[in-house]
Structure 1
Amino acid sequence: MLDSFDVAILASLQKDGRLTNRELAETIGLSGAPCWRRLKRLEAEGYIEHYTAVLSPKKINLNVVAFAQISMDNHHPETLKSFLSMVAACPEIQECHSVSGSCDYLLKIITRDMESYEALLSNMLLPAEGIRSTSTMFSMKQPKITRELPLSGC
């Protein structure tokens, strides 16, 4: 079980993963050593999976965000393994969700422009074994993007 200090550590690090242990301890109201022990336990128990930098897509010329709905021909293990290997090898595919509803997978894809998206679609997705059809939605604006998880229920 997480107590209020654990939740405070997680909330603080979600907002700023570069906090030093001292800054984190001050923020949550603990001294340095107990804060460090709690942080190491949260990491060891898998509450904190990893640390990363969040880059600006526009600054690195990634301007198109697309959501591709993928319908599969079948769900045989060999077909899914091939599809998921292709997904894992494609850096433009940021997220892959197995979903319920009218399609099997939802992919979040980010590319430079429409031409590069079309190339990815034509050269990787459409020829991939097991894909029956794709349908794409393009993000026009992104009024909210967050990686912070809601911690109110912890």
Structure 2
Amino acid sequence: MRHKLDGLDWKILDVLQQDGAASAADVGDKVGLSQSPCWRRIQRLEETGLIRQRVALLDRRELGLNFLVFAHVKLEAHAGDSLDAFRRAIADIPEVLECFVLMGQVDFLLRIVAKDVEAYEALFFKKLSQLPGVREINSMMAVSTVKETTALPLGQLRAELG
């Protein structure tokens, strides 16, 4: 880890990953600091990049995005600009929430949302299958969600780092 954190920093990070909208005063109350020193610590954590951004997590189902798909993508080739061209193109598709480069039998893993199967089918044929260098896409629909979190295991990490 590149940044030295003390016990208060760890507590602040834990509070903020549970409630990113919490004010410095609210966070300070929970970690035992007054507002100003807490605000300074939060600013430092943001400046160092440990806190990338604070966002609202939206409920996709409440917004009508009921179809969640995980897609494995294989490219034709890995040489030249094919990887970069794919990366640039995938960044412009808002339904693709996450894209990971993998090692193994597939090249990318995508997490995709759509309104329904018809909307995904249109996305698949009009955009995904047309991406540069794509040889094969295997789509898997998520039936239900067992666990979904954005919270990192800070307690475990802190214990391991001492």
- Please classify the TM superposition score into its range, dividing by the shorter chain length: over 0.9
TM-score (structure 2 length as normaliser) = 0.91
Question: How far 1:78 moved relative to its partner?
Answer: 1.6
Match in the other structure for 1:15: 18
Point out which structure has higher relative CO (alpha carbons under 8 A, 6+ apart): 1
Deviation at 1:81, TM superposition (A): 2.0
AA aligned opposite 2:23: T
Residue pair 2:73, 2:138 contacting (<8 A) in 1 also: yes
What is the alpha-carbon distance in structure 2 between the residues aligned to residue 77 and residue 121 of structure 1? Answer: 25
1:68 to 68, 71, 77: 71
Please report how far the alpha carbon of residue 108 of structure 1 lies from its aligned counterpart in structure 2 after TM superposition: 0.3
- How far apart, CA to CA, are the structure 2 residues paired with 1:87 and 1:104? 13
Give unmatched runs, 5+ long, in structure 1. none
The share of aligned pairs that are identical, in percent, is: 36
1:39 aligns with 2:42: yes
Tell me how far 1:101 sits from its aligned partner: 2.0
* CA apart distance, 1:88: 0.6
Amino acid at match of 1:17: G
* Structure 1 stretch displaced more, 122-131 or 101-110: 122-131
Separation in 1 of the partners of 2:141 and 2:5?
39
How far apart, in 2, do the equivalents of 1:84 and 1:144 lie? 28
Write out the 4+ residue segments of structure 1 that deviate beyond 4 Å after TM superposition: none
Please tell me whether residue 153 in structure 1 is matched to residue 121 in structure 2.
no
- What per-residue deviation string (whole Å, max 9, x for no partner) do you get for residues 53-97 of structure 1? 111111111010000000011113421222112211000000000
Which stretch of the first structure deviates more once superposed, 76-85 or 10-19?
76-85
Q: Where does 1:79-90 land on structure 2 (aligned, <5 Å)?
A: 79-90=82-93
Bigger CA drift: 61-70 or 142-151?
Answer: 142-151
Residue in 2 aligned with 1:93?
96
Structure 1-normalised TM-score?
0.96
Runs of 5+ unmatched residues, structure 2: none
How far is the alpha carbon of 1:128 from its aligned partner?
1.8
**Alpha-carbon distance, 1:150 to partner:** 1.1
**SS across alignment from 1:17:** coil
The equivalent position to 1:5 in structure 2, one of 3, 8, 21, is: 8
